[in-house]
Amino acid sequence: MTEADAIELVSKLISRGRSIALKDISPSTHLVNDLGLDSLDAAELLAALHMETGKQLDFTSMEDFQTVGSVADVLVRVHEGSHA
């Protein structure tokens, strides 16, 4: 999975779950400050990513779960076989 693929997937899932236009979501979009995601929303996003990819994402640091791009980075690393 490329970085672009991961960003597209994360953006689509957020758009679908939050009724936000895809054009309003970018890699730098902050999940809390810009989109208002809370811990339940984050858990739902992780579950949706797991359902879409079959991969379990483990965020050991909240810094990895700040922006659309940072979530995509973790997704790419998981797909490359390294632990995230």
CB 9 within 8 A of CB 75: yes
Question: What is the model's pTM?
Answer: 0.88
pLDDT tens, N- to C-terminus, the chain (84 residues): 999 999 999 999 999 988 899 999 999 999 999 999 988 998 899 999 999 999 888 766 666 789 999 999 999 999 888 554
C-alpha to C-alpha distances, 12 to 9, 45, 80, nearest whole angstrom = 5, 11, 21
Which candidate, 46, 41, 40, places its Cα nearest to that of 64? 46
Domains in the chain: ranges and CATH: 3-79 (1.10.1200.10)
HSE-up of residue 46 (Cα within 13 Å, Cβ side)? 16
